Structure 1
Amino acid sequence: MGLALSGWLGGIPAKMKKDAPSSSSFLPLSIPTSSRLSLLLNSFPIAPGDPRCRWSPTHCSPHFLLSPCGEEVTRAPTQQSSDGARGEKGERGGLHVWEVLWSPAHRGSHAVIGVSTEHCPLQTSGYTALVGGDSQSWGWELTTNQLWHAGRALRRYPGERGVQAGERSVSPPHPVPEHVLLVLDTDAGTLGYMVDDCFLGVAFKDLPRGVELFPAVSSVRGGASIRLCYLNGATREPPALMALCGLSIHVSMGKERETQTDRLPLPLPLQRYLLPSI
């Protein structure tokens, strides 16, 4: 029964689970999320002060200034330089989601969000997509929507409907909002992104297994402030049946009634269990 329910939930589009804004240009491009990811996004947040919410004070360009709490980096107004920063703690196993907050007004060109190993360079002269500029990093350039790896622009992400692999998309890039979610599945070796509560699918696959991967950003704009927040993680074990049942009830109730669990004909402990955690 657990596997059947897990499979059923895996076919629910992200827009049904999180009620993405109808005005979002990403909504037609969203794809279904797995039950594992849906449970993670609807689980209790991690405790405050988790090191995965902080940028590394040592693994960042000298042109990035770190806030006292470590959750935000701000790039100094430096000319002819591309600068990067990595999270303080990476992951080797499991499914993990980080939120990166970066105002579109403070991005400029070559604004990249992704992941890297500890060997990715964090500063170079000139203006370039630093995250994704070598074989040790994978990045999404927010202004052009291009995916970067090994120093090459691979393709536009998300892909347009009706555009075949190898063809050029003629539509303009989608404006990426302030909040971007990194979805790293180290067990499957994949990286994807969520914006406007829409999961845009796998951007990169075949990421190295068993290697610590860190959230990473790179910027060329002076004054760009970028905040990091670790939302949650999950092991590779199958989701618990109780959690899957709770998620299916929330899907059936809908966003507008998710706080009305007290009206369900259930014991009080179960009603409390079903209360939304985010």
Structure 2
Amino acid sequence: MVTEGWFCVFEQEVDVILRSDWMGLTLCCWLKDGGPKKHHKSRSAFCQFSVAPPIRLAVLLDTPPVAPGNPRSQWSPTHLSTNLKVCPSGGRVSRARVEQSSDAVRGAVGTATGLHIWEVLWEEQQRGSHALLGVSTHKCTLQASGYTVLIGGDSCSWGWELSTNQLWHDGKAGRRYPGGGARGVLSVPDRVLVVVDADAGTLGYVVDDCYLGVAFQDLPKGAELFPAVSCVWGGAQICLRYLCGMTRDPPALEALSRLSVRGALGGAGPRGRMLSVPSALQRLLLDTHTAEEEQ
């Protein structure tokens, strides 16, 4: 009986070792091949400009969001134009129906380190001209007379003009974004993810589940960066939600494994394929932060 019990324990340990070796080999091959392959079923015009995200970002994009009510999900009640009003929960800002004014607001909490993702919901019909989305330091200009660029209009902010696809910084118009030779202006949908890598000093965007690459680089390292918007449309409502973030440390093995398996299954994977998988593992693989599944 003792011998049989010892053998069972030994067999389990060998199984763990073999599984670990297989997982390590799988991840090595996965990393060598450039990470997960996205299967975009959408016919979005942005899909052709999608680029493979870095490993840390790929893991973060596949990570469930933090719980609602996170302080980073709120607009600042004090750092905003007088023509803007933040709702009691802090997650939505509304612009008054005034003319000849450009108005901006930044997030209540920013970041000086790590990789972070914010979700911004802003209806296309509520943008008009000079609708900019990006990041700023605490010194960004928040109001100006007439219709002009605010986020990206000074040296303390970087913005993507959604109506023209133009990048702005220090009052100068840069290249069109995304790159890749897009013909004409691409219509940016209501939902956009803002990707801030404070350690690398970069800013990028995700549209229709497509990572569009780095829009800005050489952002000031060590400075606190806040998600920010500026608009001119009377009655516009813009919602902010912090999804998730991570330090500059390598991703956990569990996160890499989850991403690898989900990628092999084509995202969350058809539930029928996982009938033989333990329920705890099913919950881990099927857990996602897509808006459809949250509702």
Partner of 2:66: 46
Q: Which of residues 190, 194, 198 is equivalent to 2:202?
A: 190
3-state DSSP of counterpart to 1:120: coil
Measured at CA, do residues 160 and 206 of structure 1 come closer, stay the same or move farther in structure 2, by a change above 3 Å? same
Q: Which of residues 196, 205, 209 is equivalent to 2:217?
A: 205
Higher helix share: 2
1:136 aligns with 2:156: yes
Q: How does 1:223-238 map to 2 (within 5 A)?
A: 223-238=235-250
Partner of 2:111: 91
Mapped partners of 2:270, 2:259: distance in 1: 11
Partner of 1:118: 138
Q: Structure 2 counterpart of 1:145, which letter?
A: N
Measured at CA, do residues 99 and 227 of structure 1 come closer, stay the same or move farther in structure 2, by a change above 3 Å? same
Segments of 5+ residues of structure 2 without an aligned counterpart are: 1-23, 290-295
CA offsets 1:218-270 (integer angstroms, 9 cap, x no match) = 00111111000111001100011222112111111114725446434x55543
> Which piece of structure 1 moves more, 267-276 or 99-108?
267-276
1:252 aligns with 2:272: no
TM-score by length of 2: 0.84
Q: Which of residues 163, 166, 179 is equivalent to 1:159?
A: 179
Q: Structure 2 counterpart of 1:99, which letter?
A: E
Q: CA RMSD in A?
A: 1.9
Q: Structure 2 counterpart of 1:204, which letter?
A: F
Q: Structure 2 counterpart of 1:79, which letter?
A: E
Partner of 1:275: 286
8 Å contact from structure 2 (residues 36, 259) kept in 1: no
TM-score by length of 1: 0.89
3-state DSSP of counterpart to 1:251: helix
Partner of 2:14: none
Mapped partners of 1:9, 1:228: distance in 2: 34
8 Å contact from structure 1 (residues 259, 276) kept in 2: no
8 Å contact from structure 2 (residues 118, 195) kept in 1: yes
> Which piece of structure 1 moves more, 216-225 or 268-277?
268-277
Segments of 5+ residues of structure 1 without an aligned counterpart are: 162-168
Measured at CA, do residues 34 and 20 of structure 1 come closer, stay the same or move farther in structure 2, by a change above 3 Å? farther
Q: Which has the higher contact order (CA 8 A, sep 6+)?
A: 1
Q: Which of residues 168, 180, 184 is equivalent to 1:172?
A: 184
Q: Structure 1 counterpart of 2:228, which letter?
A: A
Task: State the shift of 1:12 in Å.
Answer: 3.5
3-state DSSP of counterpart to 1:274: helix
1:220 aligns with 2:232: yes
8 Å contact from structure 1 (residues 20, 27) kept in 2: no
Q: How does 1:23-38 map to 2 (within 5 A)?
A: 23-38=43-58
Mapped partners of 2:29, 2:230: distance in 1: 40
